[in-house]
C-alpha cells in the first residue's frame, strides 16, 4: 500500500528480491540452529546486547541490556539465560514476551565490528537455582529470560565500518545532546525542573542505586 509520503513502496517479497537479488549459498550456510565452539565467544565476551520483542499485534520494541561480559549465560548450545535487572518498570520487553515469545538478540563486543545474532523463543523464569549464578554485587536477579535458540549467526562489520562507531575521534560529547531532564521538560512543560531531575539522576548513578 502507498505510504502517506510516497507511492514508491515495496509490498511483497517478489518485488524485494527483484531489487536485491538472492543471498549467496555461503551466506545461507552460516545460519545455524545452535551455538558452536566458534560462536560461543561472541556471547561470552559481550557486555552489551540488544533485545528485540513484539506484542501480539506485531508492535515492536528494542531494549538495551548491559552487564559484565558474559552476563548472558550459555546454559547449553540451544539455551541462553538473560538476567533481568531493575529498570523503569515499564516492562515493555517482558510484557511483549508474555504475549509473544519470539525474540531477537544482537550481541556487541566493544571494538569488534562483527556482531552475533540469535533469534528464538523466550520464557520468563523465576527459578532461583537458574538465576543464582547471575548475581552481581551479591544480588541475584528476581527474574530471567530463557531463550531457546532457533537461529544463530554472525553479522558482518559493514554497519560498524560505515558508522565508524568504534572510532574514538568520532565520539560525541553527551553535553552536545539534550539531557534527559530537558527532554522531559519539553514533554511536561516549562514548570518541570530539568536541572533538578538531571542532578538527582546523576547522584543515583554515582551511588549505583537500582543497578542490581
| Owner of C-alpha cell 514476551 | 97
> Residues 157, 161, 165, 168: is their CA dihedral positive or negative?
positive
Tell me which of 2.60.40.10, 3.40.50.300, 2.40.100.10, 2.30.110.10 is the CATH number of domain 13-163. 2.30.110.10
Q: Count of CB atoms within 10 A of residue 57's CB?
A: 7
The whole-model pTM stands at: 0.95
Query: Do 205 and 174 meet the contact criterion of CB atoms below 8 Å apart?
Result: no
Distance CA 23, CA 157 (A): 17
Question: 106, 95, 4, 105: which is closest to 57 by C-alpha?
Answer: 95
| Distant-in-sequence, close-in-space partners of 130: CB < 8 Å, separation ≥ 6 | 75, 81, 144, 146
Q: pLDDT (tens digit, 0 to 9) for every residue of the chain, 212 residues total?
A: 789 999 999 999 999 999 999 999 999 999 999 999 999 999 999 999 999 999 999 999 999 999 999 999 999 999 999 999 999 999 999 999 999 999 999 999 999 999 999 999 999 999 999 999 999 999 999 999 999 999 999 999 999 999 999 999 999 999 999 999 999 999 999 999 999 999 999 999 999 999 99
> Within the chain, which residue ranges are assigned CATH 2.30.110.10?
13-163
Amino acid at each position: 500500500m502507498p505510504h502517506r509520503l510516497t507511492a514508491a513502496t515495496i509490498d511483497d517479497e517478489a518485488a524485494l528480491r527483484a531489487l536485491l537479488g538472492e543471498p549467496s549459498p555461503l551466506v545461507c550456510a552460516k545460519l545455524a540452529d545452535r551455538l558452536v565452539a566458534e560462536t560461543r565467544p561472541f556471547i561470552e565476551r559481550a557486555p552489551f546486547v540488544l533485545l528485540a520483542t513484539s506484542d501480539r499485534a506485531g508492535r515492536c520494541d528494542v531494549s538495551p541490556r548491559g552487564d559484565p561480559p558474559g552476563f548472558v549465560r550459555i546454559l547449553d548450545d540451544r539455551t541462553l539465560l538473560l538476567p533481568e535487572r531493575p529498570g523503569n518498570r515499564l516492562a515493555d520487553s517482558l510484557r511483549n514476551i508474555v504475549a509473544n515469545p519470539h525474540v531477537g538478540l544482537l550481541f556487541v563486543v566493544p571494538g569488534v565490528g562483527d556482531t552475533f545474532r540469535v533469534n528464538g523463543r523466550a520464557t520468563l523464569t523465576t527459578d532461583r537455582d537458574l538465576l543464582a549464578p547471575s548475581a552481581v554485587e551479591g544480588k541475584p536477579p528476581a527474574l530471567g529470560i530463557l531463550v531457546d535458540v532457533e537461529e544463530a549467526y554472525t553479522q558482518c562489520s559493514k554497519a560498524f565500518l560505515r558508522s565508524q562507531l568504534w572510532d574514538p575521534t568520532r565520539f560525541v560529547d553527551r553535553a552536545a545532546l539534550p539531557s534527559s531532564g530537558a527532554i522531559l521538560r519539553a514533554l511536561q512543560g516549562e514548570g518541570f525542573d530539568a536541572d533538578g531531575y538531571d542532578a538527582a539522576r546523576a547522584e543515583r548513578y554515582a551511588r549505583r542505586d537500582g543497578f542490581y
